Amino acid sequence: MREYELRSMNLKALGYRNYKDYLSSNLWRKLRSKAIKTSGGLCCCCGEAATEVHHRNYDLETLKNGGDFSLVPLCNACHHLAEFDTNGRKRTTQQANRFLDGVKGAGRFNTRRYLEEHNKAWKKAQRKSSQKRKRKNKDKSWTSF
């Protein structure tokens, strides 16, 4: 994954061994709390308490100074929603940003309802596909007789 190679290159340039090293640094602690303050401590998606900060990119400037609106305060649920698609696959940073751009700003986004709706849709889809699979297997065993 290219973005993570760039991230590790930039972190090395700043003198950090890896991302974990950076996340436990005083610099990150400072940037993180500054970012959370800009949103009044609220998640940019749903308006609940922000506990995490999303990186819109891993540019040198962002890692060093927080960049220009590159750090997005989020609650845990919204961060998860931004980072993973409904199939549980990790989104790329661009995909995550696109997702956030769609909902961010108003603080009126109801993450919980969104998750419930999506989980339901996802469960339904899974149920359907497993039924199909069962039917297929049945057909197979039937034709093999």
Binding site for Zn ion (CB under 5 A): 43, 45-46, 48, 75, 78, 111
Q: Which is nearer to Zn ion, 106 or 121 (CB)?
A: 106
Minimum Å gap between C-beta 48 and Zn ion is 5
Q: Which is nearer to Zn ion, 93 or 111 (CB)?
A: 111
- Cα 74 from Cα 54, distance rounded (Å): 7
- Cα 111 from Cα 78, distance rounded (Å): 6
Relative to beta strand 52-55, strand 71-74 is antiparallel
Q: How far is CA 109 from CA 44, 64, 68, in A?
A: 9, 30, 23
* DSSP strands (E only) in the chain: 52-55, 71-74
Minimum Å gap between C-beta 37 and Zn ion is 17
Q: Which is nearer to Zn ion, 49 or 125 (CB)?
A: 49
Minimum Å gap between C-beta 114 and Zn ion is 10
Burial 49-72 (b: 16+ CB within 10 A, else e): ebebbbbbbbbeebbeebbeebbb
Q: Which is nearer to Zn ion, 75 or 100 (CB)?
A: 75
- Cα 45 from Cα 43, distance rounded (Å): 5
Minimum Å gap between C-beta 18 and Zn ion is 28
Minimum Å gap between C-beta 12 and Zn ion is 32
